[in-house]
Amino acid sequence: MTDPTFRSALQLAAAIRSREIGSRELLDHYLARVERFNPQLNALVTLDAERARARADAADAALARRESWGALHGVPITIKDSFETEGLLTTSGSPTLARHVPKTNAVAVQRLVDAGAVVFAKSNLPTFAMDWQSYNPVFGTSNNPFDPARTPGGSSGGAAAAVAAGLTGLELGSDIGGSIRIPAHFCGIYGHKPSHGLVPQRGHIPGPPGTLGETDIAVIGPLARDADDLAAALDILAGPVAEEATAWRVQLPPPRHTALREFRVAAWLDDPLCPVDEETRACHRHMVEGLRAAGVTVDETARPAFAFAEAHRHYASLLYAATSPGLPREQFAQLARAADAAPTDVHNDSLAFARGATQRHRDWIVTNEMRHRLRGAWAQFFGAHDVLLCPVTPTAAILHDHSEPFPQRVLSVDGAVRPYTDMVMWSGLIGMALLPSTVAPVGRTRAGLPLGVQIVGPYLEDHTSIRFARALAEVTGGFTGPAGY
């Protein structure tokens, strides 16, 4: 076949089924690319080449017997190192798990395997997936394939870099604060944050190995070079865990529309609370002009009926509560003392974290009720609009910055100093409401860095945002790989 490097996962699966290429041949192609390009990217950190070759050989043999394992039969894929993988080192970037080799796959990993995928490597991330850059003391720093001086994002940064550089057919990521969406944006690929609750989290670290419960806001979703891959992967991944499948199933509705001009589009592309830079605004302006030229109605004034600042305040409180179980006991105690000692009229980022992480359950219930009121505003908004377009972060991929303490890092937005936590403002707005969000590439900066856009859809109407991402490529061109790969 012609060079398979940047083909979509579905195209690769079709080529394997038609015998245009073998699974083993394709796997060896990707392994050769990993050997050539991964040293400069450090996107993939643990290889499982021999077992993968054996499975790829079995996939080819099965096809010879006219047996199909599923939609991803024989397609080589990689998995973010926060997901437990049977017999394969799974560290979540932490020295405490540097020798952790699970005996079973995470539920999401097993579903991809059951669909025929060939898992051959794990991708890098920040320690316990807790940063918007991907580096850790176990495996070091991952670099962006468009500029190695910049981060590919986090926490699914190694995943996005591997997809963008043509080192894998598909990736599995996770997201609680933009961890699928930010890397997709920074690396110029597609990523989907599903509606909360659609894809089981069991086998994801964090929480600790063996955790059975679901984490608030957190989701599991795919990263790919084509929007159709997101839809196919979501259909594979979505559904209850086994003990709940006795009573219910997932049947996602089809997209509201298929043709681009049929979509009712709203655009919220900048806000004083979290301003975006001039190049991002210009790229998004060009996108909107292209949509209008294609006959799409775009409303740039429509907003859900709440204040951005209010939504972010509730998101931060829920996020800090959701991630607090991972804090060491003594740190949690210190935060509780700080929260209790501070006057109620004093507010800053450090206190917000302390209060959110150590809040009483009564306080969480109050905040959760406010979240559901905001979700009601979103539902009303999506009665009049099919999708909302909004930024992912204020800028394109940032330069590596591993300075500590983490909260004191800053961003430069058109020369203005902004808090590092602006990285999560736009993604948190969506995550707090549990909504689906698809990131699609829409352009480049003058320096050639990718820029993406969030396509937000109604709750459980994930296929609407994914379908719009596919249609948007008619205007923006979709994925294009980095030079030199």
Chain segment 200-249, per-residue pLDDT in tens: 999 999 999 999 999 999 999 999 999 999 999 999 999 999 999 999 99
Residue 1 has pLDDT above 70, yes or no: no
Mean pLDDT of 332-338: 93
Name, in order, each residue with C-beta under 8 angstroms of 110's C-beta and a sequence gap of 6 or more: 104
Instruction: Provide the pLDDT for residue 407.
Output: 82
Instruction: Provide the pLDDT for residue 151.
Output: 98
Q: Before 155, cis peptide (omega within 30)?
A: yes
- For 4, phi then psi, to 5°, come to -85, -5
Instruction: Provide the pLDDT for residue 345.
Output: 82
Distance (Å, rounded) from C-alpha 331 to C-alpha 463?
A: 41
Residue 348 has pLDDT above 90, yes or no: no
Active site amino acids:
80, 155, 179
Mean pLDDT of 82-98: 98
Instruction: Provide the pLDDT for residue 327.
Output: 87
Question: Percent of the chain having pLDDT more than 70?
Answer: 100
Mean pLDDT, rounded, of the chain: 97
Distance (Å, rounded) from C-alpha 107 to C-alpha 201?
A: 7
Distance (Å, rounded) from C-alpha 80 to C-alpha 421?
A: 23
Q: Are 71 and 13 a contacting pair, CB within 8 Å? A: yes
Distance (Å, rounded) from C-alpha 160 to C-alpha 284?
A: 22
Instruction: Provide the pLDDT for residue 206.
Output: 96
Residue 424 has pLDDT above 90, yes or no: yes
Instruction: Show the domains of the chain with their CATH numbers.
Output: 9-237 (3.90.1300.10), 261-476 (3.90.1300.10)
Instruction: Provide the pLDDT for residue 343.
Output: 87
pTM for this predicted structure = 0.97
Mean pLDDT of 26-41: 98
Mean pLDDT of 347-369: 93
Question: Percent of the chain having pLDDT more than 90?
Answer: 96
Chain segment 389-419, per-residue pLDDT in tens: 999 999 999 999 999 988 899 999 999 999 9
